Structure 1
Amino acid sequence: MPNSSKPCPICRKPRSAEFSPFCSSRCRDRDLAQWFGDGYAVPGRPAMPEEIADEVLRTRED
C-alpha cells in the first residue's frame, strides 16, 4: 500500500505508515518537543487562572 500523498509536516519527506503523519520517530519527537516547548499555540487570548480553575471544578462535578 503506498504512503499518503501528503509529506511529513516536519521535514517534507514521504510519510511512514508506522509514524504517520510523520516519516520517522525523529520527526514525531521533534513535533512533540514543539508542543512541550510552547512552539505551537492556539490563537486567542490567554486564559485567566480563575477561568481555568472554574473549568476544572465544572468538569469534576460532571
Structure 2
Amino acid sequence: MEVKCPICAKQVVWAPTSEYRPFCSKKCQLIDLGEWAAEDRKIAGKPAEDGRPTEFDVEEIEAMLAQQSDDFFKH
C-alpha cells in the first residue's frame, strides 16, 4: 500500500521497511515535528464543559511514558 507523505505529498510505501512512514524522509519527519512543537498543527478536541482548556498532569504523563518499551520511542 502507498500513502502520500503528509509534508511533501511524495508517495511512500506503507510497510515495516519504510523507516519514516508515513513520511518519505527524516527531513519531512522533522518538519512535521517542528510544526507540532510550534503548535502550527493540532488535533481538535472537545472543549472542557466550562470552556477552559483541559489541564494535564505532567507526572501522570511521565509515568505513562516510563512504562513504554524502548521501541516506542524509535518511530
**TM-score when scaled to structure 2?**
0.53
CA distance in 1, matches of 2:11, 2:38: 26
CA distance in 1, matches of 2:25, 2:40: 20
5-14 or 22-31, which deviates more: 5-14
Question: 1:41 corresponds to which letter in structure 2?
Answer: K
Q: Which is higher, the Rg of structure 1 or of structure 2?
A: 1
Residue 33 of structure 2 is matched in structure 1 by: 32
- Tell me the secondary structure at the aligned position of residue 40 of structure 1: coil
2:11 paired with 1:14 = yes
RMSD of aligned alpha carbons: 2.1
What percentage of residue pairs aligned between the two structures are identical? 29
Structure 2: tracts of 5 or more residues without a match: 61-75
| Structure with the largest fraction of helix | 1
| Structure with the largest fraction of strand | 2
Correspondence list, 1:32-51, <5 A: 32-43=33-44, 44-45=46-47, 47=53, 51=54
Q: Cα–Cα, structure 1 residues 41 and 19, in superposed 2: closer, same or farther, change >3 Å?
A: same
**TM-score when scaled to structure 1?**
0.62
Structure 1 runs of 4+ aligned residues shifted over 3 Å read: none
2:20 paired with 1:23 = no
